Amino acid sequence: MVNGKPIRAVYPGTFDPITNGHIDIIKRAKVFIDDLIIAVGHNPEKQALFSSEDRVTMMREMIQDMDGVDVISYEGLTAEFVLSVGAKIIVRGIRDNIDLHFELQQANINLAIGGVDTIFLMTSDLYALTSSTYIKQIVELGCKDLDRLSRLVPPPVALRLIEKFGK
Protein backbone atom coordinates (compact mmCIF):
# COMPACT_ATOMS: atom_id res chain seq x y z
CA MET A 1 0.00 0.00 0.00
CA VAL A 2 1.04 3.55 -0.70
CA ASN A 3 -0.64 6.35 1.26
CA GLY A 4 -3.29 3.90 2.41
CA LYS A 5 -4.17 2.86 -1.15
CA PRO A 6 -3.56 -0.64 -2.48
CA ILE A 7 -1.08 -0.92 -5.32
CA ARG A 8 -2.82 -2.29 -8.41
CA ALA A 9 -0.87 -3.56 -11.42
CA VAL A 10 -1.48 -5.52 -14.59
CA TYR A 11 0.63 -8.42 -15.87
CA PRO A 12 -0.31 -8.69 -19.56
CA GLY A 13 0.55 -11.47 -21.97
CA THR A 14 -0.85 -14.02 -24.35
CA PHE A 15 0.06 -16.87 -21.97
CA ASP A 16 -0.22 -19.41 -24.81
CA PRO A 17 0.60 -21.60 -22.98
CA ILE A 18 1.15 -20.51 -19.40
CA THR A 19 4.67 -21.38 -18.29
CA ASN A 20 6.29 -21.92 -14.92
CA GLY A 21 8.16 -18.69 -15.66
CA HIS A 22 4.84 -16.80 -15.86
CA ILE A 23 3.74 -18.25 -12.52
CA ASP A 24 7.11 -17.32 -10.99
CA ILE A 25 6.70 -13.68 -12.10
CA ILE A 26 3.16 -13.59 -10.66
CA LYS A 27 4.30 -14.91 -7.28
CA ARG A 28 7.24 -12.54 -7.12
CA ALA A 29 5.20 -9.51 -8.19
CA LYS A 30 2.65 -10.23 -5.46
CA VAL A 31 5.33 -9.54 -2.86
CA PHE A 32 4.99 -5.79 -3.48
CA ILE A 33 1.70 -5.49 -5.41
CA ASP A 34 -1.57 -5.73 -3.50
CA ASP A 35 -3.91 -6.28 -6.44
CA LEU A 36 -2.52 -7.99 -9.55
CA ILE A 37 -4.61 -8.44 -12.67
CA ILE A 38 -3.42 -11.06 -15.13
CA ALA A 39 -4.49 -9.68 -18.51
CA VAL A 40 -4.80 -12.44 -21.09
CA GLY A 41 -4.47 -10.62 -24.38
CA HIS A 42 -5.16 -11.24 -28.01
CA ASN A 43 -2.12 -10.57 -30.16
CA PRO A 44 -3.06 -10.38 -33.86
CA GLU A 45 0.59 -11.05 -34.75
CA LYS A 46 0.52 -14.46 -33.06
CA GLN A 47 -1.42 -17.58 -34.01
CA ALA A 48 -2.92 -18.80 -30.72
CA LEU A 49 -2.81 -22.47 -29.84
CA PHE A 50 -5.45 -22.13 -27.12
CA SER A 51 -8.52 -19.90 -27.29
CA SER A 52 -8.69 -16.82 -25.11
CA GLU A 53 -11.32 -18.55 -22.98
CA ASP A 54 -9.09 -21.61 -22.51
CA ARG A 55 -6.11 -19.45 -21.53
CA VAL A 56 -8.22 -17.53 -19.00
CA THR A 57 -9.56 -20.79 -17.56
CA MET A 58 -6.08 -22.31 -17.28
CA MET A 59 -4.68 -19.17 -15.65
CA ARG A 60 -7.55 -19.08 -13.15
CA GLU A 61 -6.75 -22.67 -12.21
CA MET A 62 -3.10 -21.74 -11.67
CA ILE A 63 -3.81 -18.72 -9.43
CA GLN A 64 -6.89 -19.96 -7.56
CA ASP A 65 -5.04 -20.07 -4.22
CA MET A 66 -3.43 -16.64 -4.60
CA ASP A 67 -5.10 -13.74 -2.81
CA GLY A 68 -5.33 -10.45 -4.66
CA VAL A 69 -4.88 -11.94 -8.13
CA ASP A 70 -7.54 -11.87 -10.84
CA VAL A 71 -7.62 -12.90 -14.50
CA ILE A 72 -9.30 -10.90 -17.27
CA SER A 73 -9.11 -11.23 -21.05
CA TYR A 74 -8.71 -8.12 -23.16
CA GLU A 75 -8.15 -6.82 -26.67
CA GLY A 76 -6.69 -3.56 -27.84
CA LEU A 77 -4.04 -1.30 -26.40
CA THR A 78 -2.53 -2.56 -23.17
CA ALA A 79 -2.15 0.96 -21.75
CA GLU A 80 -5.86 1.62 -22.26
CA PHE A 81 -6.76 -1.67 -20.59
CA VAL A 82 -4.49 -0.90 -17.64
CA LEU A 83 -6.17 2.46 -17.10
CA SER A 84 -9.65 0.94 -17.55
CA VAL A 85 -9.09 -1.34 -14.54
CA GLY A 86 -7.79 1.47 -12.35
CA ALA A 87 -4.11 0.55 -12.51
CA LYS A 88 -1.10 2.61 -13.55
CA ILE A 89 1.57 -0.10 -13.49
CA ILE A 90 2.46 -2.91 -15.89
CA VAL A 91 4.56 -5.88 -14.72
CA ARG A 92 6.83 -7.60 -17.25
CA GLY A 93 9.30 -10.45 -16.96
CA ILE A 94 12.67 -10.11 -18.65
CA ARG A 95 14.62 -13.21 -19.72
CA ASP A 96 17.49 -11.62 -21.62
CA ASN A 97 18.74 -8.53 -23.44
CA ILE A 98 16.45 -9.20 -26.41
CA ASP A 99 13.40 -9.12 -24.11
CA LEU A 100 14.75 -6.00 -22.45
CA HIS A 101 15.17 -4.17 -25.76
CA PHE A 102 11.60 -4.99 -26.85
CA GLU A 103 10.05 -4.33 -23.44
CA LEU A 104 11.81 -0.96 -23.06
CA GLN A 105 10.22 0.16 -26.33
CA GLN A 106 6.81 -1.04 -25.17
CA ALA A 107 7.27 0.61 -21.77
CA ASN A 108 8.12 3.94 -23.38
CA ILE A 109 5.06 3.74 -25.64
CA ASN A 110 2.78 2.84 -22.72
CA LEU A 111 4.16 5.73 -20.69
CA ALA A 112 3.78 8.17 -23.60
CA ILE A 113 0.22 7.22 -24.59
CA GLY A 114 -1.24 6.33 -21.22
CA GLY A 115 0.99 7.55 -18.43
CA VAL A 116 1.44 3.91 -17.44
CA ASP A 117 4.71 2.84 -15.81
CA THR A 118 6.33 -0.57 -16.24
CA ILE A 119 8.11 -2.64 -13.61
CA PHE A 120 10.57 -5.21 -14.91
CA LEU A 121 11.31 -8.41 -13.00
CA MET A 122 14.25 -10.50 -14.11
CA THR A 123 13.21 -14.06 -14.76
CA SER A 124 14.61 -16.59 -12.31
CA ASP A 125 17.58 -18.49 -13.77
CA LEU A 126 15.52 -21.67 -13.73
CA TYR A 127 13.09 -20.18 -16.28
CA ALA A 128 15.41 -17.93 -18.32
CA LEU A 129 15.26 -20.18 -21.37
CA THR A 130 11.55 -20.92 -21.13
CA SER A 131 9.24 -19.45 -23.76
CA SER A 132 5.72 -20.36 -24.81
CA THR A 133 6.88 -20.57 -28.43
CA TYR A 134 9.62 -23.08 -27.60
CA ILE A 135 7.28 -25.14 -25.45
CA LYS A 136 4.75 -25.44 -28.29
CA GLN A 137 7.55 -26.53 -30.64
CA ILE A 138 8.85 -29.11 -28.15
CA VAL A 139 5.42 -30.72 -27.81
CA GLU A 140 4.65 -30.48 -31.52
CA LEU A 141 7.94 -32.23 -32.31
CA GLY A 142 7.11 -35.16 -30.07
CA CYS A 143 7.79 -34.53 -26.38
CA LYS A 144 4.72 -35.95 -24.66
CA ASP A 145 6.35 -36.84 -21.33
CA LEU A 146 4.37 -35.22 -18.51
CA ASP A 147 7.29 -35.14 -16.07
CA ARG A 148 9.61 -33.45 -18.55
CA LEU A 149 6.98 -30.94 -19.71
CA SER A 150 6.10 -30.12 -16.09
CA ARG A 151 9.59 -28.67 -15.68
CA LEU A 152 8.48 -25.96 -18.13
CA VAL A 153 4.73 -25.59 -17.56
CA PRO A 154 2.35 -26.41 -14.70
CA PRO A 155 1.21 -30.08 -14.88
CA PRO A 156 -2.43 -29.24 -15.84
CA VAL A 157 -1.11 -27.14 -18.72
CA ALA A 158 1.24 -29.95 -19.76
CA LEU A 159 -1.74 -32.31 -19.90
CA ARG A 160 -3.67 -29.87 -22.10
CA LEU A 161 -0.68 -29.51 -24.41
CA ILE A 162 -0.37 -33.29 -24.74
CA GLU A 163 -4.11 -33.53 -25.47
CA LYS A 164 -3.89 -30.71 -28.01
CA PHE A 165 -1.07 -32.33 -29.96
CA GLY A 166 -2.30 -35.90 -29.51
CA LYS A 167 -0.63 -38.75 -27.74
3: left (phi over 0), alpha (psi -120 to 50) or beta: left
Is 131 among the residues known to form the active site?
A: no
Q: Does residue 22 carry a catalytic annotation? A: yes
Q: Quote the pTM value.
A: 0.94
CATH code assigned to 8-129: 3.40.50.620
In eight-state DSSP terms, residue 124 is P
Split the chain (167 residues) into runs of 10 and give each run's mean pLDDT: 87 97 97 98 87 97 97 96 98 95 97 97 91 91 89 95 84
| Alpha carbons 12 and 102: distance in angstroms, whole number | 14
| Residue 132 is a catalytic residue | yes
| Active-site option among 22, 55, 92, 160 | 22
51 is catalytic: no
